[in-house]
Amino acid sequence: MTRRRVLTVLFLGAALCVALLFAVVIRETSVGGEPNGDVPLRRLAADARIDVGTAVRGPALRDYPGYRAELAREFSTVTPENAMKWDAIEPVRGRLRWTDADALVRFARANDQLVRGHTLVWHNQLPRWLTGREWSAEALGRVLRDHIRTVMGRYRGRVAEWDVLNELTADSGKGLRTSLWSDVLGEDLAPKALRWAREADPDAELYWNEIAADGLSRKSDEFYRRVKALVADGVPLDGVGFQAHFNLDGVPKGFEANLRRFADLGLDVRITELDVALEVPADDAARKAQADIYAQVARACLRVPRCAGITVWGFTDRFSWIPASQPGAGEATLLDRGLDPKPAYRAFAEALRAGSVARSTAADATPSP
């Protein structure tokens, strides 16, 4: 063999070894052949048999550089942060504005994402024409029924799930929250709204989304009691949303047990608005504690078979409701202001990855009917 041939054979052999080594490393560290950190959340979540979603802000979707690409890559469900609320859709009675809501629904279709409609019955973000006068129960009921029909009807077949009821439980844990709706419609409110929603789109999943009822507490007991009664009365309700607006106080006591007791009523449960507010500017220790809270929420959902998914309330610190509403707080999301991943992103992804192994093993072990 000539010297040149020997060198060629040695070179090819070495190249083959390096290639094999790479293949092994990539296989060990990836789902579906991509290196750690490069697997989008939506793929990790799909492997774990849940959805992962985010709230979407209309103006950001329109023109913030990089926002659309990140949104499409990482998330399998989207919730309009404001665009489907009453004041956004009908600021003046009878004049309907659909631009931002339509844009999101189109984006979701193009990117194979499920839309969670948000929200139909809420005490906030109502137009003046609705709040600035007295209503009889009959007249207000008619207005609400028409609203539900109009909005759900427009998106029939394109919005899979609706937060029909939002934050109806009183913070004290005693009865319904005081609002235009409960003041005028009283105890009929929830069953009527849910029945109108079922009529408007029989295929949509109907949710009651609740705030600050994530752990076991007086408020979540009241919420549970009401949901249980609706189910017992045969009122159409498919799922319950837990918003999970947290801070470094951590995940509230009994979070997983709370999810389970609602799931045991035969309902789906979802985490619908997860974020973890920090004092700003945050330091590394706070960012690490935040990461751990994101991971804990993911793990709790993954341990509950009826937990259908987790939605974060905004995915970048550039667009988050926290700084405007809680002065001194912020940095609550998975990505920083430049859309780069924070420790929270990596911990959340890791929890989904671990969950995908656990959930697929559990599913494999379940005997088929």
Q: Closest separation between CB of residue 81 and ligand 9MR, Å?
A: 5
Q: Closest separation between CB of residue 231 and ligand 9MR, Å?
A: 23
Let me know if 256 is a catalytic residue: no
**Which of 154, 166, 147 has the alpha carbon at shortest distance from 242?**
166
Residue 274 CA, chain-centre distance (Å), reads 7
Residue type, 244: A
Residue number, 85 or 359, with CB nearest to ligand 9MR: 85
Question: If binding is defined by CB under 6 A, does position 150 make contact with ligand 9MR?
Answer: no
Residue 74 CA, chain-centre distance (Å), reads 13
> Contact, 262 vs 224, CB < 8 A?
yes
User: Which two tokens mark 132?
Assistant: 């600035």
Residue number, 47 or 163, with CB nearest to ligand 9MR: 163
Q: Closest separation between CB of residue 327 and ligand 9MR, Å?
A: 14
Catalytic residue among 74, 81, 161, 167: 167
> Contact, 185 vs 141, CB < 8 A?
yes
Number of residues that bind ligand 9MR (CB under 6 A): 9
Let me know if 167 is a catalytic residue: yes
Residue nearest ligand 9MR, CB atom distance: 321
Contacts 24+ apart (CB under 8 A), 135-141: 135/180, 135/184, 136/184, 137/184, 137/185, 137/186, 137/188, 140/180, 140/181, 140/184, 140/185, 141/185, 141/188, 141/192
Q: Of the candidates 46, 49, 64, 82, which one interacts with ligand 9MR according to CB under 6 A? A: 82
Show Cβ contacts of residue 61 under 8 Å, excluding neighbours closer than 6 positions. 67, 68, 71, 100, 103, 104, 107
**Per-residue x/- track, 97-136, ligand 9MR (CB under 6 A):** ---------------------------xx-----------
Residue 134 CA, chain-centre distance (Å), reads 35
Q: Closest separation between CB of residue 33 and ligand 9MR, Å?
A: 37
Binders in 212-271 for ligand 9MR, by CB under 6 A? 243
Question: If binding is defined by CB under 6 A, does position 319 make contact with ligand 9MR?
Answer: no
Q: What is the set of active-site residues?
A: 167, 273
Rule CB under 6 A: which residues touch ligand 9MR?
Answer: 81-82, 124-125, 166, 211, 243, 273, 321
